[in-house]
Structure formats: C-alpha cells, structure tokens
Structure 1
Amino acid sequence: MLDEPTLDAASSAAPDGLVQHLRHWLGAWPPLSAVDVVAAPQRTQPAWDGRIHPVLGVADATGATVLSVPPDVADAVREAATGGVEPLLAQLPALLGDASRQAFRAVFRWTTRPADAPATGRWVAADAPGVPEWLHPFGGQVLVATADDGSHLAGVGIKRHDAFGHELAVVTAPQARGRGLGRGLVTQAARHVLRSGTVPTYLHATDNVASAHLADSAGFPDRGWTVIGLGD
C-alpha cells in the first residue's frame, strides 16, 4: 500500500501516486506560485466520460493552485489570474467562451489508508441487468449493493482519469441511507483501487454535509484541498 503522510504534514505533501495523477490530469504539479495557469492539451480532449472539461484546477491547503486550461486561452487566463483565484473564478466562463456556465470550487480528498469497514457490495459490469442508468457511463466494473429481492440500494462508479488516480462516485438510494452501505462501498472500492497501484480520490460539494461525513468515515480526510471546475 502507498505510504501516506500524517495529517499534520498532509496539507503540504502528497503521495507520489497522487503527484503523478495531478501531473497527468492537470498538466503540472505542484504549483510553483499562488496561481499557476497551465496550457494543457488535455482540456481539449475527451475525459473519462467522453466529454470535454475545459478547465480543471486543484488547490492545496495553502491555496496555491494549478489551473489547467486549453492552450488557446492560457495567456488570457494567466493575465486575469494576476488578481488571484477568487476574482478569476467569476471571469473563467467568459474567458473559456461559455458565459452561460459557472465556475465552482469543491472539496478534493484522497486516501492511501481507507477505513477498516466490511465490504457491502459486489462488482458487476456497468451494463449488467439491474444496474441503474447513472452507473452506465463509468464502464468496466462498478460496485453495487442490492436488497434480498435484487433491488438496487447503493453503488460506486470509478472515474478512471489516468493510470495514477481514480475518482470514486457513490450514490445511496434514499430508503437505504443510514445503514453504512455507502461507507462500506467506498472503502471497498478504495481498497480495490489501491491494489491496482492507483490512488483513490473523492470529490464533493463544499456544502454537502452527508458526503463530507461519508468521506470522513471512509478514511478520506479533509486536508483543505479543493478542486475547481465548470458547472453545467
């Protein structure tokens, strides 16, 4: 298993696998200034879901940020970034040519030591009968928990960004919440990702208390890191 720094040091340090993931995902890491704008061809290419994500950014606990944008707008974004990240967020959609969208900031977490929780799911093909539609785009194998009658209770899909970092996405049906199914699935999926030599990551909205609690309980501590993207 990959070594993980203590929480006291984790805000400024990251395991090698995560560093490699961020370098591939964003185009550079770590940030060398308050805001490093990277001209990244990745931002013009289909991502794990086949869609183009024209901006991605990650900020560490100090606020130092790598912002990954298409090469043709990098100079304009770099110029706008001289005032700092927060003012830049309001300008990003227009700079990227889509003023109808809005930039967002979310919590970025990772682990190399998931919590010791019992497995609550089984791996099945994403397009297997009974798998809900929201899991289909993940492809490959997804993790599901079902009731005795076969009805779906919870699931985890894996966003396979690159060979170094895989992001976990979990949804629990309303009637199944509060039973620890989500925690069990996330820890089970995290162990699976780690066994493949990849770092599991977990993202959630800053105001999503339920997701934050699940992440904490599954062994994905909040280190004060955030991710920047463009909403639909």
Structure 2
Amino acid sequence: MLDQRLHHHLVTWLGQWPAGGALDVVGSERRVQPGWDGEPHPVVAVGSPLGVVLSVPPDRAVAVRALGPRSMAALLAELPAVVGLPGWVGYRAVFRHTLAPTPLPDHGEWVDAADPVVPRWLRPFGGEVLVARDSDGGYLAGAGIKRHDGYGHEIAVGTEPAGRGRGLARRLVAQAARRVLDEGAVPTYLHDPGNVASARVAEAAGFADRGWSAYGLERVDRPPAP
C-alpha cells in the first residue's frame, strides 16, 4: 500500500497521482510557482511501473498531450520546444523513497546553510544542512533537503574527495531521512541511472530501487541531475 505521505506529496507536487494509464499529462500551477530553490521547475514527472504522471504548466498541457503516445525518451526530446524552453534538456533519474532508513550511526551536525563551513552547492537548500567535518573542523561531506512541499522532502548528498570511502554519504543520508520522517514528511532520493556510487549510497541508507523514475527539464548551463 502506498504511504499516505508519499501519495499526498505526489498529488501536491505533480497535480495528480496515480496515473490513469501509461502516461497522464497534467497542467499544474506548481510548474509556474517557485520550487524548493525559489525557481520554477516547469516540467516534472514521476513514473511507477503502473504509469507516468507528467506535470507541465497549465497553458502547455493541451500541446503536450497532442504529441501523442511515445516513449519518455522521445517525449523529453520534444518537450523543450513544446513548453517554450528551447535552451533546456530532458533528464531521467531513479526515484527512491523510504519509511525505514538504515539505522546507521549519525555522523553529521546540522548547521545553518549560511555557516562559513557550508560549501556553495549546499547553500541554496536554506534552513539547516547536515555537515560532516574532519578532525580540524573542515568540511568533508554534506546533505541538504529539498522541501518540495509539506509531505515530501528530497535528500541530496555530496562528499569531498578526501572524505570518500568512509561511508559518510550513506550515514548522512540515513540521518537526514530520519529527520524528514520526524518532521512528518516522506524522504525521497533521486540520482542519475548511471551514477553507481549514488545508487550504492541510496541502497545502504535504506532507499530501495522499486522501479520508479523521475523526469524533468533543466537548463543546459546547470549541473546534471544527481
């Protein structure tokens, strides 16, 4: 049975859940409103083995539906032009969630995102971020939380080369997931399908691969999806 928090998150984030068929295109105001980072995310989709819900701006839904049945790869190639974002590209990520993070020991401390120890990539998450330090107090690894809505929070993690191979990332992800659950939301984790290291971190932290995917568009001058 789908957890109610995950269900409410997907309904809120996408505008509908679940899909009624292989692909449901939904026009949602969320696509033109600021997202977790203060910027709109104009195309977001989540797919389970039962189907995909593709969320687009309301004024683009008819045009996207008119593309007709096709693979998600083909659809992502055409979406930038159809939704008026020719400088963007499509991506697919593995979508994971958990209600039972692995009981790994905590290894980070929560600090304000504006703290001098926090690297640039973590600052946009705002609020508090999770940081692991070395013996001299320097930054080794960190995790931030994308608070998409009140029901679903996505965890992102990064480790400096000096901190790799110590299991820091998996501990930080599990620790962050416990905090998300304590806040009443469901923790999610997305990563590029080819990122083996990120997949291992997710599995070790208790985020199983259930065959779900996330899709979206991003600017070509932005870093690739995690």
Interval of TM-score (by shorter of Structure 1 and Structure 2): over 0.9
Q: What are the superposed Cα offsets for residues 190-216 of structure 1, whole Å, 9 maximum, x if unpaired?
A: 001101111000000010000000000
Gaps of 5+ in 1: 1-12
Q: Which residue of 2 aligns with 1:166?
A: 153
Aligned with residue 78 of structure 2, among 67, 73, 91: 91
Aligned to 1:197: 184
Give TM-score, length-normalised by structure 1. 0.92
* Distance (Å, rounded) in 2 between the aligned partners of 1:55 and 1:129: 34
Other structure's SS at 2:41 match: coil
Structure 2: which 5+ residue stretches go unaligned? 220-226
C-alpha separation in 2, matches of 1:211 and 1:84 = 26
Give the percent of matched residue pairs that are identical in Structure 1 and Structure 2. Answer: 54
* Matched residue count: 219
Q: Please point out which of 183, 190, 197 is paired with 2:170.
A: 183
What is the distance in 2 between the residues matched to 1:86 and 1:150? 44
In structure 1, the partner of 2:202 is 215
Quote the offset at 1:82 in angstroms.
2.7
RMSD, aligned CA: 1.0
Contact 1:35–1:85, Cα closer than 8 Å, also in 2: no
What is the correspondence of 1:55-66 to structure 2 with a 5 Å cutoff?
A: 55-62=43-50, 64-66=51-53
1:147 aligns with 2:134: yes
Contact 1:35-1:84 within 8 A present in 2 as well: no
SS of 2:146 mapped into structure 1: strand
Which residue matches 1:78? 65
Residues 1:100 and 2:87 are matched in the alignment: yes
**Distance (whole Å) between structure 1 residues aligned to residue 165 and residue 134 of structure 2:** 15
Instruction: State the AA in 2 paired with 1:51.
Output: E
Choose which of 17, 21, 42 in structure 1 pairs with 2:30.
Answer: 42
- Cα distance in 2 for partners of 1:56, 1:125 equals 29
- 4+ runs of 1 displaced by more than 2 Å? 81-87
